[in-house]
Amino acid sequence: MVEYHGKKYHCPMELAVHLISGKWKALILWDLAERELRFTELCRRFPEVSEKVLTAQLRNLEADGLITRTVYP
**29-49: average pLDDT:** 95
Question: Looking at the predicted structure, is the pLDDT value of residue 44 above 90?
Answer: yes
Question: Looking at the predicted structure, is the pLDDT value of residue 73 above 90?
Answer: no
Q: Residue 14: which H helix or E strand, with range?
A: helix 12-19
Read off φ and ψ for residue 8, nearest 5 degrees. -100, 135
Give the chain's mean pLDDT: 93
Q: Which pLDDT band holds residue 30 (cuts at 50, 70, 90)?
A: very high
User: Which pLDDT does position 72 carry in this prediction?
Assistant: 82
The dihedral through the CA atoms of 31, 51, 21, 58 has a sign that is positive
Enter the DSSP assignment of 22: S
Cβ atoms of 10 and 1 closer than 8 Å = yes
Greater confidence (1 vs 28) lies with 28
